[in-house]
Amino acid sequence: MSTATLPSTETEAHTHEHHHELPWYRKYVFSTDHKVISKQFMLSSLFFLFIGGAFALFIRWQLAYPGTKIPLVGSILPATWVTEPGSGIITPEFYAQLLTMHGSIMIFFVVIPLALGMFGNFCIPLMIGTDDMALPRLNMWSFWLVPPAGLIMMAGFFTETGYATAGWTSYPPLSASIQLPTFTISGQTLWLISVFLVGFSSIMGSVNYVTTVLNKRAKGMKLFDMPLTVWALFITAIMAVLGTPVLAAGLAMLFMDNFLHTSFFLPDNLVTNSKYFGGGQPVLFQHVFWFYSHPAVYIMILPLMGIVSDVLATFSRKPVYGYKAMVFAIAGIAFLGFIVWGHHMFQSGMNPLLGTTFMLSTIVIAVPSSIKVFNWLGTLWRGNIKFTSAMLNALAFVSMFIIGGLSGVFMASAPVDIYIHDTYFIVAHIHYVLFGGSLFGIFAGIYYWYPKMFGKMLNEAWGRKHFYWTFVTFNLTFFPMHILGVGGHMRRIYDPNVYDFLKGLGGINEFITIAAITLGFSQLFLISNILWSMKFGKKAPRNPWHANTLEWAAPEHPGHGNFDMDITVYRGPYEFSVPGRELDYWPQWEQGEAISAHHNTVAVPIENETRTFGAH
Amino acid sequence: MSSALNLSHEPVTRVRHGKFAMWAFLASELMFFAGFFGTFIVLRNTNYAAFGEGSAQLSWPLALVNTFILIGSSLTMAMCIYHLERGNNKLFRLFMGLTIMGGFGFLIVKYLEYSSKWEHGLFPGQEHHTLFFSFYFLMTGFHALHVVGGMIPMAYMFFRSYTKRGYKHPGKVETLGLYWHFVDLMWIFIFPALYLMIPYAVAGAGAHH
Amino acid sequence: MGDILHVLDMLAWFPENISTYGAELDNLFAIIYWVSVAIFFLTFGILGYLLVKYRYSPDRKGYNYHGNNLVEVTWTILPTFLFAAIGLYSDDIWERTKYSKRVPQADVEIIVLGKTFGWTFLYPGSDGKFGRNAYTDRTARHLMSTTNIFGIDSTDPTGMDDFTTENQFRVPVNSNIVVRGSSIDVLHSFFLPHARVKQDVVPGTWMNIWFNLFKTGDYELACAELCGGGHYSMRAEYKVVSMADYDTWLDKKNAEAKAARSPQSLPAAPADTVAVASH
Amino acid sequence: MSDDHGSIIPAYMKVFYALCAFTVLTVAAAKWMHFPESWGTTGDILHVGIGIVIAVMKVVMVMWIFMHLKFDQPMLRFFVFVPVFLFFVMSFALNFLEVWTYTR
Ligand code: HEA
Ligand code: HEA
Ligand code: CUA
Ligand SMILES: [Cu+2]
């Protein structure tokens, strides 16, 4: 048993902490320890999840019961948000602000920071067996840009125009606010600054991840010995490094259009009374925006694909099926992700010829995605499956991603997209991939690594409750949205009852809202579980899931420096249930016969493999 | 205890962390300017005449001077890394000083250019502003910010070299050097794109401003 | 049970289709839908089977198996063919509905401008020809203003019978309607749910939109691109009428337009002077 | 560093002189090379093309020598190739197909 051979770490961890004697603010606030930074990302994002979620519930109330008073909080809403003070009925303008803030917060302050910031920070150094990131100080800054950015975005509330209103996609000319005088600080300019800052944060983080993965792997760890989580984070980081700056360029230009009334995205002959110069192209912004934001949707899901692969392997006690194919599929998705951005613009007025090319490349993305799905199924095949909370969430990821991905194929077909573009079909897709995919993946990761993060076990019974409630109400909330979409219900509309052809859909809207409220409150299980277990949870053993990857070689609650022993990697990350061994797992760090990760049959000795990439 | 462990070993790729990260960051920077150039090309093609007029109003001799300044400071930067690596603090200081002066020189010329643009009413919001000048201020502005960003650590290193121990981190200088060459490199594209490639006036596409 | 099936049968929820190519789009949707349903049941079936069959049992171990290249290649190639087929078939339809060179010969041509928050239509009148305006002549764009959003050159006699309508329009049944769309402020999207038409209209550019409707009746036009607080209310109504009815209507509008604008009264502001079409 | 075999300074100086020369050349080409009016946009394309070719040559020299790509791990070159590739993809999509729609 591997853990038996390890030194007891209790005392050592203590001497270690005394040794450094960092002041408290260096330990918990401006810490350079990747684990602390990871927790900071986690807490700030969960906080934003609640804000974004609360906004969503406002949206839902309005759609189900247009023009009625919002219960509970209606009477205390600020006067600018409601039709008249105390009425509790939100205005159309505020509705637009709500959906903009909901989308922006969920994407820029919840999923990206969780997927890339939290898991990137936590998993990479531990899973490659090193003490910290390559550049810890840079890492600290990559977190500390996020809270100010969040505050800046929320500060839109104090401007005259309120929050940004142009949707999370913020297409000009609507987002160029030319009717405002120059040098106005509006919700939109703050939005632009804020997103610029989080973008910079993810660039800094990603630069660090790329360097760390390539430079700091433990002795003996080839690239193809890395767990899929690390692979996925690594490739995602590359995408972020290359994609984010393009968005930043677009934001800079849009900022100038807002603040100085330049006209990068404003054409001649806009019939307005204000002064601007013309000559620009509105559709150009969409190109620049989606050049980043399509890759960004993969930034939001690839890390979770890696995590889910690890969780599935661990709890079905089986190697990941087709490890190498999985790596190539991730790389393939990442590459293709950069050449499909136009599928958001089929109806935007770009050249239809481009529509053809983007449609074909988009449909091709379904191929690496299917490879991943089938390999996950293959991983379960002949396993010995334990339904822990982490596993349940991982399975939900797989199944919900299938649904969300399939609805993606509808939209990828440009002629079909003519009708469903900008309807609730898209909203259903968004939430199936982002909530059903990313967020379930994030939950899986949290349940899986919580013991290593906090040294305590989460309460399993509550975890399951959280899962079942979430899974059921999630589907009740978002599946009917497909139907709304097929019925022609446009997205981003304040009151569907204006249209005769939408009159029959009110019942569905109501149903969705009730489910959504339940869904929102189901999240309280998660939050209370996290907070309660930090203090009162059972103490976690070193390797609670009997997993193979290196983070489980670290002490129960690793301190600065992570490991209490030298790490050498002897085999791939997924040697579960090796025949002839008593234990059904075989950690990467445990000495013994070496096995590589990616051969196709049972146990081939390492001598037959040529070590290529960066071996020591 | 962690000091006894060998977790933080030699970089696997044999490229220092800082340098590696800088290259990754430069890839990012390349994409940042790629976004500007991408839109620039499109809008130049659709506002052919206006871009021609705007471009003709810029002062290419000043920009030419600036090009030489930047090339020169790139050279001195390369030199100062060379000398610091060989432990020659004096020559390091000399070349670092020259590089900083290059940066200052560049900014001064830029200031002259900008103030003449201000006088001619070419700033955003002023009457003769056109889309071309939006690009001009966008690209040269971000470039100038990059220059300033490079000069701050340079100044730090420069003043540290006056302390008793001198400045002892050739690695950091090398990393900064990469950045500085990148700034030079971007200028090598910006210079012809804005100042020299004046679109031919094409008949029929009359100017609208 | 029947009700549940109805809810799950997504195809039943489409609003009635009234355009010629709409049937093709719906059909393509249905094809992808049934393929997806099949994939759904396939994958979920396998998943459910695996989860039940291989659930935890203390006296069993997992299987140390890393995968098989042949299997891997198979399940790469099969979906590739499937998706390639969907892609190629889709492209065929796409070209026919959207490519500019495939826009058919117009029986009726209309210009539409979106503005916050409404739609204005310009009809060429009974001569079927537009006069000089911002669409027909790029150099007339400088005439565009808040009172003359189409940039109509009122000195051009061809445009004498051109008339506008607000938030309402009419088209004849069984004819090729070609709409040239643009916007005067922000992006809007010209969405005819029943006709399966959607096209963003972009200020500064003219979009080609075309359709051919086979059923008469009253329908709605919606805006499908967020354009501000009033986005939800940017609605218009349209009537699909028989050719004969359409002609009578045209004549009536022409008479009105001519009466409102004698050739001498120079800077005409059509949007203001022309009475809104009464249906 | 890999420049231990003899000094690298001559190489630096050569690059510096070449950069200066190319700078003069690009100005000269832009200012004194004219194509007949009748060539229309072809003239502009040539004009721009020459400028770009010279700029690319300059930049390659800077990266190859000043930024040590010649001497360092070849892997670092990917940090240049990949963005350049993506830039081409982006520009292609934006221009070669897009302009046609916009100017319609
Ligand atoms: C995590 C986020 C995420 C992910 C992973 C995806 C994945 C995909 N998305 Fe999605 N998308 C978004 C987030 C995401 N998307 C968001 C946020 C928007 C809206 C933005 C906005 O406008 O606000 C959007 C919008 C969007 C559009 C624009 C729609 C419109 O506005 O009109 C399109 C169009 O093509 C699209 C397509 C796809 C496709 C083809 C995939 C593919 O990657 C899916 C591939 C997966 C599968 C295909 C399923 C698995 C495969 C199988 C089960 C095997 C099949 C088996 C056999 C064939 C045998 N997406
Ligand atoms: C990860 C991303 C993510 C997540 C998790 C969610 C979660 C939810 N989303 Fe959202 N959504 C987006 C990303 C996301 N969304 C994006 C990108 C858009 C497009 C925006 C745009 O058009 O620009 C969008 C748009 C969008 C719309 C369309 C708006 C429109 O077009 O008009 C709707 C409508 O129903 C909606 C609903 C919901 C609901 C009900 C949830 C629920 O899952 C929320 C569940 C709630 C919580 C998790 C928080 C729990 C909170 C509490 C328990 C506290 C309760 C307290 C009070 C009420 C005071 N979302
Ligand atoms: Cu116009 Cu929405
Ligand atoms: Cu996309």
Q: What ranges do the domains of chain D cover?
A: 9-102
d(CA C76, CA C57): 33
- Are B124 and B134 in contact by the 8 Å Cβ rule? The answer is yes
| pLDDT score of A274 | 66
d(CA A246, CA A257): 17
Phi-psi region at A561: left, alpha or beta (left = phi > 0; alpha = psi -120 to 50): left
Tell me the average pLDDT across A398-425.
94
d(CA A190, CA C209): 37
pLDDT single digits (tens) C193-212:
999 999 999 988 888 899 99
Taking each helix axis from N to C terminus, what angle separates B170-190 and B89-119, rounded to the nearest 10 degrees?
30
d(CA C197, CA C189): 10
Q: For residue A89, which of A489, A484, A495, A518 has the smallest C-alpha distance?
A: A495
| pLDDT score of A557 | 87
Longest CA pairwise span in chain A (Å): 81
Alpha-carbon torsion, ordered D30, D33, D37, D38, to 10 deg? -120
| pLDDT score of A402 | 95
Q: Are residues C144 and C73 in the same domain?
A: no
Assign A371 to helix, strand or coil.
helix
Tell me the average pLDDT across C105-130.
89
Q: Which of A312-326, A592-606, C192-206 is predicted with the least confidence, judged by mean pLDDT?
A: A592-606
Q: Cα(A296) to centroid of ligand 4, in Å?
A: 8
Protein residue whose Cα sits closest to atom 54 of ligand 2: A54
Nearest ligand (C-alpha, residue A361): 1
Residue C277 lies in a domain: no
Measure the N-to-C terminal CA separation of chain D; round to a whole number of Å.
56
Alpha-carbon torsion, ordered A554, A560, A564, A568, to 10 deg? 70
pLDDT top residue among A14 and A588 = A588
Q: Which of D90, D100, D101 sits opposite A291 (nearest CB)?
A: D90
pLDDT single digits (tens) C12-42:
889 999 999 999 999 999 999 999 999 999 9
pLDDT single digits (tens) A248-295:
999 999 999 999 888 899 888 777 666 777 888 899 999 999 999 999
**Gap from D48 CA to chain C (nearest CA, Å):** 27
**Gap from A279 CA to chain B (nearest CA, Å):** 6
Query: Subunits touching D (CB < 8 Å, at least 3 pairs)?
Result: A, B, C
User: Residue with structure tokens 């509808």?
Assistant: A410
d(CA C144, CA C132): 12
Residue C129 lies in a domain: yes
**Residue A459 is which amino acid?**
N
Query: C7 falls in which pLDDT band (50, 70, 90)?
Result: low
Q: Cα(A475) to centroid of ligand 4, in Å?
A: 22
The tally of domains found in chain C comes to: 2
Residues 6+ positions from D37 with CB-CB distance below 8 Å: B200, D43
CB neighbour burial string for A363-400, b if at least 16 within 10 angstroms, e if fewer: bbbbbbbbbbbbbbbbbbbbbbbeebbbbbbbbbbbbb
| pLDDT score of C6 | 65
pLDDT single digits (tens) D44-70:
788 888 889 999 999 999 999 888 888
Contact B30 D102 (CB under 8 A): no
The mean pLDDT of chain A is: 87
pLDDT top residue among B47 and A360 = A360
Q: What stretch of H or E contains A270?
A: none
CB neighbour burial string for A459-487, b if at least 16 within 10 angstroms, e if fewer: beebbbbbbebbbebbbbbbbbbbbbbbb
Residue A31 has pLDDT above 90, yes or no: no
d(CA B10, CA C226): 54
Q: Which of A236-245, A330-339, C57-66 is predicted with the least confidence, judged by mean pLDDT?
A: C57-66
Residue A166 has pLDDT above 70, yes or no: yes
Tokens of A288: 């620049």
| pLDDT score of A81 | 83
Residues of B in contact with A252 (CB under 8 A): 138, 142
Tell me the average pLDDT across A142-149.
93
SS3 letters across A124-175? HHHHCCCCCCCCHHHHHHHHHCHHHHHHHHHHHHHCCCCECCCCCCCCCCHH
Q: Give Rg (Cα) of chain D.
A: 18
Q: Are residues C115 and C218 in the same domain?
A: yes
Q: Cα(A408) to centroid of ligand 1, in Å?
A: 3
> Residue B116 forms beta bridges with which residues?
none
- Are A545 and A314 in contact by the 8 Å Cβ rule? The answer is yes
| pLDDT score of C69 | 85
The tally of domains found in chain A comes to: 1
> Residue C114 forms beta bridges with which residues?
C119, C183
- Are A249 and A200 in contact by the 8 Å Cβ rule? The answer is no
Q: Which of B5, B20, B32 sits opposite A249 (nearest CB)?
A: B32
- Are B62 and B113 in contact by the 8 Å Cβ rule? The answer is yes
- DSSP classification of residue B196: I
Residue A398 has pLDDT above 90, yes or no: yes
Q: Which of A14-23, A421-430, C60-69 is predicted with the least confidence, judged by mean pLDDT?
A: A14-23
Q: Is A569 on the interface with B (CB under 8 A)?
A: no
Tell me the average pLDDT across C51-74.
86
| pLDDT score of B203 | 35
Residue A22 lies in a domain: no
Nearest ligand (C-alpha, residue A433): 1
What sign results for the dihedral spanned by CA atoms A234, A117, A447, A470?
Answer: negative
Query: Subunits touching B (CB < 8 Å, at least 3 pairs)?
Result: A, D
Q: What are phi and psi of A588, to 5 degrees?
A: -65, -30
Tokens of A354: 């481009």
Q: Which of D97, D99, D104 to mutate to test the interface with A (most CBs of A within 10 A)?
A: D97
Strand order in the sheet with C163-166: C163-166, C118-123, C108-115, C176-183, C207-212
> C183 is in which domain, residue-wise?
105-261
Residue A599 has pLDDT above 80, yes or no: no
| Residue ranges for chain B with pLDDT beneath 70 | 1-4, 200-209
Residue A28 lies in a domain: no
The mean pLDDT of chain D is: 82
Tokens of A376: 């996950």
Q: What are phi and psi of A203, to 5 degrees?
A: -65, -45
| pLDDT score of A273 | 61
pLDDT top residue among C262 and A490 = A490
Q: For residue A437, which of A155, A115, A166 has the smallest C-alpha distance?
A: A115
Looking from the CA of residue C82, the nearest atom of ligand 1 is: 58
Contact A215 B13 (CB under 8 A): yes
Q: Which of C86, C185, C232, C239 to mutate to test the interface with A (most CBs of A within 10 A)?
A: C232
| pLDDT score of B198 | 77
> Residue A122 forms beta bridges with which residues?
none
Query: Residue ranges of the alpha helices (H) in chain B?
Result: 17-46, 48-56, 60-85, 89-119, 131-160, 170-190
- Sequence length of chain D is 104
Tokens of A495: 């009151």
Ligand 3 contact via C115 beta carbon (within 6 Å):
no
Longest CA pairwise span in chain C (Å): 99
Residues of C in contact with D104 (CB under 8 A): 100, 205-206
| pLDDT score of C102 | 85
Q: Are residues C119 and C207 in the same domain?
A: yes
Tell me the average pLDDT across A121-125.
94
Residues of A in contact with D97 (CB under 8 A): 351, 353-354
pLDDT top residue among A12 and C214 = C214
Q: Give Rg (Cα) of chain B.
A: 21
Contact B13 A291 (CB under 8 A): no
d(CA A354, CA A420): 19
Taking each helix axis from N to C terminus, what angle separates A34-64 and A136-144, rounded to the nearest 10 degrees?
20
**Full DSSP string of A6-19:** SPP-HHHHHHHHHH
pLDDT single digits (tens) C75-98:
889 989 999 999 999 999 999 998
d(CA A12, CA A155): 46
| pLDDT score of A560 | 83
d(CA A47, CA A41): 10
Residue A76 has pLDDT above 70, yes or no: yes
Phi-psi region at A26: left, alpha or beta (left = phi > 0; alpha = psi -120 to 50): alpha
- Sequence length of chain A is 616
Q: Are residues C76 and C202 in the same domain?
A: no
Share of chain C above pLDDT 70, in %: 90
| Probe residue for ligand 2, chosen from A99, A297, A508 as the CB with the greatest number of ligand atoms within 8 Å | A99
- Are B128 and B122 in contact by the 8 Å Cβ rule? The answer is yes
Residue A28 has pLDDT above 80, yes or no: no
Tell me the average pLDDT across A54-75.
88
Tell me the average pLDDT across A577-583.
82
| Residue numbers of A between 211 and 250 with CB closer than 8 Å to B | 211, 214-219, 241-250
Q: What is the CATH number of the domain that holds C189?
A: 2.60.40.420
d(CA A408, CA A575): 35
Closest chain A residue to the Cα of B128, Cα to Cα: A277
Residue A15 lies in a domain: no
Q: Are residues C33 and C75 in the same domain?
A: yes
Give the CA distances from residue C5 to residues C2, C11, C13, C44, in Å, rounded to whole numbers and listed in that order. Answer: 5, 11, 12, 18
| pLDDT score of D102 | 54
Closest chain C residue to the Cα of A598, Cα to Cα: C66
Query: Hey, how many other C-beta atoms are within 10 angstroms of the C-beta on B206?
Result: 10
Share of chain A above pLDDT 70, in %: 92
The fold of the B62-201 domain, in CATH, is Four Helix Bundle (Hemerythrin (Met), subunit A) (1.20.120)
